[in-house]
């Protein structure tokens, strides 16, 4: 079965979806990403969906689940590169992805993750006093 590569960039993981997602691939991504967050001790997950032209309700729910699982494992999820048609489809399906942060591109997404990591480090530093 095909797998979507997951790359480690510092404290974050980068997932670039370059193929049409189907249910089995989305489920495998969720499982692989969950394992990688733990093994890499990742604090951020950036998912680039710029190559996705369409999504269905299952893929939308999987993005939401990935974000929820990541939060439970103390990692921020940012979805980048969402096409207008994908955003419209998700809203029409009633999937607002409330737990998912979005950014226009990878650069802005990484800035969001870095800002979150910086805020967390400052908060953790305050506890040590």
Instruction: Say if 119 falls within a structural domain.
Output: yes
The alpha helices in 1-129, defined as continuous H runs, are 23-40, 57-72, 84-92, 106-127
CA separation (Å) from 74 to 93, 106, 108, 115? 28, 20, 20, 15
Task: Indicate whether 72 belongs to any domain.
Answer: yes
Q: Is the pTM of this model over 0.85?
A: yes
Q: How far apart are CA 46 and CA 56, in angstroms?
A: 20
The residue range of the domain holding 35 is 6-128
Burial class (CB in 10 A: 0-12, 13-18, 19+), 92: exposed
Domain-embedded: residue 98: yes
**Which pLDDT score is estimated for 1?**
57
CA dist 70 → 20, 54, 67, 88, 100 (Å): 23, 24, 5, 25, 10
**pLDDT per residue over 92-118, tens digit each?**
999 888 778 999 999 999 999 998 888
* Number of compact structural domains in the chain: 1
- Nearest one of 44, 103, 32, 96 to 71, comparing CA atoms: 44
Span 24-59, pLDDT tens digits: 998 999 999 999 999 999 999 999 999 988 888 888
Give pLDDT, residue 21.
83
> Would you put residue 121 in left (φ > 0), alpha (ψ -120 to 50) or beta?
alpha
* CATH code, domain carrying 85: 3.30.750.24
Q: Is residue 1 part of a domain?
A: no
């Amino acid at each position: 079965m095909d797998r979507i590569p997951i790359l480690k960039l510092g404290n974050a993981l980068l997932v670039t979806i370059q193929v049409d997602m189907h249910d089995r691939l989305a489920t495998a991504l969720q499982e692989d990403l969950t394992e990688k967050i733990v093994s890499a001790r990742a604090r951020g997950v950036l998912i680039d969906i710029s190559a996705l032209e369409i999504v269905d309700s299952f893929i939308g729910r999987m993005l939401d689940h990935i974000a929820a699982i990541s939060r439970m494992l103390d990692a921020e999820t940012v979805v980048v590169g969402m096409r207008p048609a994908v955003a419209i489809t998700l809203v029409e399906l009633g999937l607002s992805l409330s737990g998912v942060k979005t950014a226009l591109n990878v650069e802005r997404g990484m800035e969001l993750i870095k800002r979150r990591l910086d805020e967390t480090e400052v908060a953790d530093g305050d506890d040590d006093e």
